[in-house]
Chains A and B, each alone.
Chain A
Amino acid sequence: KAGVTQTPRYLIKTRGQQVTLSCSPISGHRSVSWYQQTPGQGLQFLFEYFSETQRNKGNFPGRFSGRQFSNSRSEMNVSTLELGDSALYLCASSLAGGGANEQFFGPGTRLTVL
């Protein structure tokens, strides 16, 4: 069974630009969550999608948005990039959204904002 895949793996952008990151969950998984990992703040929850609906949202500005498609693939978008958005963005998938679920993480997309 293939794991969680994320594309691209590395991205370099300049301030003010926007970026779209993609995540393909494990086959059969319907919940996709996104996390930001930085040396200073650690791992922080961005949002979760389940059945194409955003079900949870973290404390990030509105520049961070996402969506989920009918095949459970998900994208996140960051508009008007700032230097502080440089981070590793991780996607995680799980079978369902509720109760006790194990989340499986992808390798991440390393975003550098210059």
Chain B
Amino acid sequence: AQSVSQHNHHVILSEAASLELGCNYSYGGTVNLFWYVQYPGQHLQLLLKYFSGDPLVKGIKGFEAEFIKSKFSFNLRKPSVQWSDTAEYFCAVTPWGNNRLAFGKGNQVVVIP
């Protein structure tokens, strides 16, 4: 079964700072990769996804992620965060052809105005 690792569970940073969240997965086959975000009091929303093609994917709200196959990584980045980016971020993976999402433990990100 696939597994996902996210480090630095709690991240605190100031507005305008850059954000990078690491995600590593373990699975030998072709995978679909996702970043979901859960804002306070809201449900999980898709931030961005990678299925195939260009390994640099852009999502909503200025987020982007890079798939590095050799490192089994799918790191999330945002050059300049805003207070409204305060949320919990989850990396997730499914094997190709399968809807069974395996989630990382999440990163709680707090942006200080």
B-contacting residues of A (Cβ < 8 Å)?
31, 33, 35, 42-45, 48, 50, 55-56, 58, 90, 92, 94, 97-108
* Least Cβ–Cβ distance between B47 and chain A, in angstroms: 11
Q: Is the CB of A43 within 8 A of B51?
A: no
Taken together as a complex, chains A and B put the C-alpha atoms of A33 and B100 apart, in Å, by 8
Counting chain B residues whose Cβ lies within 8 A of the other chain, the interface size class is 20 to 34
Residues 47-78 of B, flagged 1 when their CB comes within 8 A of A and 0 if not, give 00101100000000000000000000000000
- How many pairs of A and B residues are in contact by the CB < 8 Å rule? 59
Report the minimal beta-carbon distance from B81 to chain A, rounded to whole angstroms: 23
List the A side residues contacting B92 at CB < 8 Å: 43
- Answer whether residue B29 sits at the interface, using C-beta atoms and an 8 A cutoff: no
Query: Contact: B99 with A43, CB < 8 Å?
Result: no
Q: A33-B101, A43-B90, A100-B52 are in contact. Are A105 and B96 (CB under 8 A)?
A: no
Whole-angstrom distance between the Cβ of A21 and the nearest chain B Cβ: 15
A residues less than 8 Å from B104 (CB atoms): 42
What is the distance, in angstroms, from A40's C-beta to the closest C-beta of chain B?
Answer: 10
The interface residues of chain A lying within 8 Å CB-to-CB of B100 are: 33, 45, 48, 56, 58
Judging by beta carbons under 8 Å apart, are A100 and B99 in contact?
no
Contacting pair A103 B101 (CB below 8 A): yes
Q: Is B10 an interface residue (CB 8 A)?
A: no
A42/B99 contact (C-beta < 8 A), A100-B52, A105-B45, A106-B43 known = no
Q: Which of B44, B99, B105 contacts A94 (CB 8 A)?
A: B99
Whether B32 contacts A107 by the Cβ 8 Å rule is no
Contacts of A56 in B (CB 8 A): 98-100
Asked whether B102 lies within 8 Å of A45 as measured between CB atoms, the reply is: yes
